[in-house]
Each structure stands twice: as C-alpha cells, then as structure tokens.
Amino acid sequence: MGFPKGFLWGGAVAAHQLEGGWQEGGKGISVADVMTLGGPNKPREITDGVVPGKIYPNHEAIDFYHHYEEDIALLAKMGFKCFRTSIAWTRIFPNGDETEANEAGLKFYDDLFDTLHRYGMEPIVTLSHFEMPYNLVTKYGGWRNRKLVDFFVRFAVTVFKRYKDKVKYWMTFNEINNQRDVNTEFTAFTNSGVLYKDGENRYEVLYQVAHHEFVASALAVIEGHKINPDFMIGNMIAHTTLYPLTPNPKDILAAFDEDNFKNNFCGDVQVRGEYPSFIFRYFKEHNIDTSYITEEDKKIIKEGTVDFYTFSYYMSNCVTVDENAETTAGNMSKGAKNPYLKASDWGWQIDPDGLRYTLNLLHDRYPHTPLMIVENGFGAFDTVEEDGSIHDDYRIDYFKGHIHAMKEAIEDGVPLIGYTTWGPIDLVSAGTGQYAKRYGFIYVDRHDDGTGDFSRSKKDSFYWYKKVCESNGEEI
C-alpha cells in the first residue's frame, strides 16, 4: 500500500520561534516577546513587559523575517510538498483589539505564501501558536475574557479573506489541550495569555478559557467555510500517548482517565461538536461552574466542527498511582518513566511504536476524519565538525522509526494525509527558549550566548529526508 499519492511531506514551524523581526513592519509585542531564555532545569521567566537587560530569544529567533526566500529555497531542495507555519497575530493586529489590520503584516505573509507556491509547496497555517498579542493579556486578562472570541474571529476572518486563494489548510489553536495541567503556569500563559491570581480556582479559569477557545475555533471554522468552502480547517492537539505503568487495574484506570482528560477532551469537542460525558464528572469534582456554556455556544460548537484532526507526537509517557515512581520530563507535561524506552537529553521518551498505536486509536475514535501529524521531531545538541559537516544519525534514526510506524498505520487503514516534522530548520525552543535544543535538517549558526551569524548549513539528515520526500516515503 505505502503512502498515498499526494501525501503532504514537509516541515512545521511557528512564527515566534523563527521569524524574529519583533518590531518590524509594525508588529506588536506578543506573549513570546516577554519570555526569557531558560534551560533544561531553568524555566523561562515571564517578565512584566520587555525588561532591559534580559535575554529574549524570540526577538531575533533565526531571523526568518529577512531570510525566508533563502530558507524556502533550501526546504524546496529537500522536496517539501508543504510547509506549516503560523501567522503572527501581532503582525496583523499589533494589539489584538484594533479594527483595522496592519497592511505591512498582511503583505509579509502574501510574499511568504507566494514564495512557497513558487516552489510548489502548500502552506499550512496555524492561527494561534503561542504568540497572542501581549496587550490582550494586560488589558483583558487573556482568554479568560470572552471579548477575545471576537478579536480572534476578526483576525481569522481578515486572514481567511486575504489568503483565500493562497492557503487551503488551516488550524485554529496550536496544542489547545496542553494547558490542562493547572500546576503549569507556563502553558496557561503561552497558549492563552493567562496569569493566575492568588487564591482563584485555577481549574475554573482554565476550563472557561478552553470554552472560549472552542467557541472561537468553531466560529472561525463556520466563517472560513463561508469565505472558501474548500478550506480544510483543523484543530491541533498535543498528543502524549499514555500507557499504564503496570497491569495494576488502578494504573490502567489512571491512564484511561488521564488520556481522556489530557488527549481526548479537546479533540472530542472539536471533532464531534459536543462536550464528552466524562468531563462533567471532572467539572463536578473540581467545583467548576459551567454556567458560561450557553445553548447558543453549544450550537456554534456543533456547527463548527473541524475538517481534519491534526496533532503533535513526540513521545509517550506512563501513568501510575504509585507516587514514588520515577518520573521523566515531556512535551509540556511530566509522566512516569517507561523502563523499555530511551529518552532525549531533555527526557522526552522515544517511542515510534506509540505513533502507530496512537494513529489507530485516533482513527477508531474519529472514523470519518482525516488525520495529519503536524509535529514530530527530535531535539538534540548537534556538533559541527571542523569541515562544517553535521552528523545527526540520532535524528535520522528517530525519524526512520516514526515514518515506519506511519507506514504501518496506513497499512492498518488509517487515513493519514500528511506529515510535517517539527523545526526542519533550527529554531528557538518553545519550552526552554534555547537555540541549543536543535530539531533541524538545516543548521542555523546562532547560539544561546547571542553569538553566531545566522548562516545556514545542511546536516546529514537533510540529504536523508530529501530521499524520503522525493520517494513518497518509499526510501527510509
């Protein structure tokens, strides 16, 4: 069987992690612009505005704003069929609450999408990827405020209209589910511009935020289809696959519950158009008032279901009731360590088989919805040899395993339509703000100490992924 004809091979990035040019073309300050450099054991600091003397890696990122023609030409050499990026909301509406869009920002993306088409690449665009206008945080309290729904829909409609003939594939909120953990202040801020207040019921805040985002996402889908009925508008879920650590039925139930609330809740709302029954028990147990879910909202959510389901997959984790079990880090959330798996230097467990399992689970859950993997990749320290070469076999091995798993899942009957690796060109890590955590097939000479001239070079994985794209996955 193999990969279907027209399968979308490519790579994915987010505006704030590669563009730089944080004050160019009338761009406003985003939430990413007030987050400092962190490290593996040093959380990024969220500062009160931009504070002189602090290091903000996203301000310059990899300066894609000035290098995009060169970068797209390089990606095209690998045979990319598509390129996923986000539109920085702050380039279009610098403060988020204006009524007039910023023409210079719109023009930048016109040029970007035209360049992609010139090289035969389909743009895949995320509307909100951890980079909302900072003004919406300070003035409105982020997504806890219902006014954000209108601001977001205005932004979505503006870009849908402008790019209706240039962009077909869209997604609304990146990793909408990764803010489910009330103990992680980081994701509440990056995703939704929420800063917790002392003593408030964080669960209530987060679920109200999620509800506003569900309504905004559904309205965007509804409006988008009016503008171009051929649009494919998807959701985006951070899928960390969860296994029970042991056969203890308590672990099995704990994994089942966590999977429902971390992975399935948001997908169910956005694909099936209604809140799943299991979440109401959770609401009750955490004293969450749900009176904000109106009948009108329910209708919107039912009408604005997504056209395809997209997700990120980096790793799996285990779940256990044993409080003394060894833990490991992960993509925005921790889990119990799996004794059968190796992990990256950042503790992310490498599990290609988990991808086949996940694709099958998702297809079983949403049988009529095409699936796309929009992030998968391996963050690692790379070494540049004296002759400039970079031998990243570890990255090639990671991808080989995952692409093989995709092939198996397609054999299983899963309707997978595309695959974009995370960070085909090195960029700023979202979690740590580091350059040192590299994902790319293309190396960027830029370092955490601010040195480097932003020059680009090809790693071994560049030549390997080129074969994959050009052979439609036959040669891995």
Query: Catalytic amino acids?
Result: 175, 375
Of 141 and 379, which has the nearer Cβ to ligand BG6?
379
Q: Which amino acid is at 8?
A: L
Min separation Cβ 312 and ligand BG6, Å? 5
Number of residues lying near ligand BG6 (CB under 6 A): 17
Q: Answer yes or no whether residue 37 interacts with ligand BG6 by CB under 6 A.
A: no
Instruction: Please identify which residue in 124, 171, 238, 373 interacts with ligand BG6, judged by CB under 6 A.
Output: 238
Spatial neighbors of 211 by CB under 8 A, at least 6 apart, are 292, 293, 297
Question: Nearest CA to 231 among 297, 157, 128?
Answer: 157
Residue 229 pairs in a beta bridge with: none
Classify strands 371-375 and 335-336 as parallel, antiparallel or unpaired.
unpaired
Q: Answer yes or no whether residue 175 interacts with ligand BG6 by CB under 6 A.
A: yes
Give the H/E segment covering residue 18. Answer: helix 15-18
Min separation Cβ 388 and ligand BG6, Å? 25
Of 154 and 459, which has the nearer Cβ to ligand BG6?
459
What's the rounded Cα separation, in Å, for the pair 164 and 168? Answer: 7
Min separation Cβ 397 and ligand BG6, Å? 18
Min separation Cβ 1 and ligand BG6, Å? 30
> Long-range contacts for 471-475 (Cβ within 8 Å, ≥24 apart)?
472/2, 472/3, 472/5, 472/7, 472/9, 473/2, 473/3, 473/7, 473/9, 473/403, 473/406, 473/407, 474/2, 474/3
Q: Answer yes or no whether residue 113 interacts with ligand BG6 by CB under 6 A.
A: no
Task: Give the per-residue contact string, 405-434, with ligand BG6 (x = CB under 6 A; - = no).
Answer: -----------------x------xxxx--
Min separation Cβ 287 and ligand BG6, Å? 29
Residues 299-328 that bind ligand BG6 (CB under 6 A): 312
Of 102 and 376, which has the nearer Cβ to ligand BG6?
376
Residue 332 pairs in a beta bridge with: none
Min separation Cβ 434 and ligand BG6, Å? 8
Q: Answer yes or no whether residue 402 interacts with ligand BG6 by CB under 6 A.
A: no
Question: Nearest CA to 422 among 360, 466, 379, 371?
Answer: 379
Of 12 and 301, which has the nearer Cβ to ligand BG6?
12
- 380, 445 in Cβ contact below 8 A? no
Burial category of 199 from C-beta neighbours within 10 Å (exposed 0-12, middle 13-18, buried 19 and up):
exposed
How far is the first Cα of the chain from the last one, in angstroms, to the nearest whole number? 15
Chain residues binding ligand BG6 by CB under 6 A are 14, 17, 130, 174-175, 238, 312, 331-332, 375, 379, 422, 429-432, 437
